[in-house]
Amino acid sequence: MQGAFAEHVRALEKAGARTRLIRTQEDLEGVDGIVLPGGESTTMTMLMERVGLLEPLRDAIQRGLATLATCAGMIVLARDITDGMGGQRGLGLLDVGVRRNGYGRQVDSFEAQLHIDGLDGKTFPGVFIRAPLVERTGDVEVIASYDHHPVAVRQGRIVALCFHPELSGDLRLHREFVRMAGAKN
């Protein structure tokens, strides 16, 4: 609907996936996984509501649709949002509390080498751009942290990241997502 979807498409296709853009409820039929990209979380949610995609997407993810959420995608999935726009409503499926732009504004963007559990032991280049800050975790597995804060979590078939793997040039997380999406519940 909005956000860095083109970069994810390129990374997923290089990782061996067939991709298609999801813009309507009908587009969800038959997909093995979905990426909720970075972008502007309020705009993403409003557009999903406007085209009738918010509830069907929530249902699909609750039923086990493999989901990769990056940056704003994490905000859209979060149960609690601090500093959201008035009346901002998301999917509320990920048991975390996040602060929008918690790492600062665009000028505060940075890259950090991250150790991600289950990702071959080598560091991953996390690209943080107006990234959300995870302030609370519930029933999630923290798979990477930066400066004592979770920056990557897993909850069932959901992987949510505060950073942008599609901008890193490193396909390992996209390959793992393609593998996860191909594995049935």
Out of 71, 162, 174, 176, the active site residue is: 71
- Catalytic, out of 7, 166, 174, 176: 166
Q: Which of 7, 8, 164, 174 is catalytic?
A: 164
How many Å separate Cα 180 from the centre of its chain? 14
Has 174 been annotated as catalytic? no
Residue 141 phi/psi, 5-degree rounding, is -100, 120
Among this protein's residues, is 148 annotated catalytic?
no
Q: Which helix (H) or strand (E) holds 44?
A: helix 41-50
Task: Please state, in angstroms and rounded to a whole number, the distance separating the CA atoms of residues 164 and 8.
Answer: 9
Q: Quickly tell me which residue has 């918010």 as its tokens.
A: 54
Reply yes or no on whether 166 is catalytic.
yes
The catalytic residues are 71, 164, 166
